[in-house]
Amino acid sequence: MKTQIALKEFLEKKVEEYNQPAFIKDDPISIPHLFKKKQDIEIAGFFAATFSWGNRTTIIRKSKELMQLMDMSPYDFCLNHSSKDLKVLFQFKHRTFNSTDLLYFIEFFRWHYSHHHSLETAFTKFMNPGDTTIENALIGFHQYFFSLEHVPTRTIKHIATPARNSSCKRLNMFLRWMVRNDSSGVDFGIWKKISPSQLICPLDLHVGRVAKRLKILIRKQQGWLAAAELTDYLRTLDKNDPVKYDFALFGIGVMEKQF
């Protein structure tokens, strides 16, 4: 095991290596980077994050396919679509996510954006003063997202919640994209009411494997408690921006096979 100082130096170097514009094109974050309007970035990012399990090439391809079906204007499509417009979506499918799920997501976005300027409020409205993490935001968002009438039972599995001890990898990744703000140009930093210090590290198989090899994650089950445990350690390296180390852990896990 590296000493903490040596480990911090090692991970900082890996963050610098992978938190670069060159990282974007092969990652699902490339989808929201297709857009300039804040709401388009939010919606495109949310879909890309939702689809983010499995092969990254397929995730990017299916996300682009959906954006094209929405005429590359997801915000306008969600707010102003007609019944005829929705018909082009009926054949869309990505793994277990199908058109039933897609139509509910669009219905939620239309309802939310008719009342709010940004998707940020769908998370921050559930946070309490003094919250050190976004746990309450994620629990509240899950309840809010499925608060409309006629929620398809099958769709609920596509949005995770800490209340069920999910690591919430995809939501945590989405929040990293929206909240973190640095000079690299990878993450967007367009949300200001959540602090980077409150984020939880997205925990997937790659990140978990590397974290265990580095002995900074002990818990075996990769649920919410494991994600929180890992992030607690990362805060000892950088209390203000612990989730920047996601670049290092994920990059090592995917690119450096010896880990």
Count of structural domains, the chain: 1
220 vs 60: CA distance, rounded Å:
30
Assign 94 to helix, strand or coil.
Answer: strand
Q: pLDDT tens, position by position, for the chain (259 residues)?
A: 568 899 999 999 999 999 999 999 999 999 999 999 999 999 999 999 999 988 999 999 999 999 999 999 999 999 999 999 999 999 999 999 999 999 999 999 999 999 999 999 999 999 999 999 999 999 999 999 999 999 999 999 999 999 999 999 999 999 999 999 999 999 999 999 999 999 999 999 999 999 999 999 999 899 999 999 999 999 999 999 999 999 999 999 988 866 6
d(CA 6, CA 183) in angstroms, rounded, equals 24
Q: Which residue has the tokens 């409309």?
A: 148
Which domain does 43 fall in, by range? 4-255
Integer Cα distance of 189 and 41 in angstroms: 11
How many whole angstroms separate alpha carbon 50 and alpha carbon 171? 8
> Could you tell me which of 244, 159, 177, 145 has the C-alpha nearest to residue 41?
177
CA-CA distance, 118 to 149, in Å (whole number)?
22
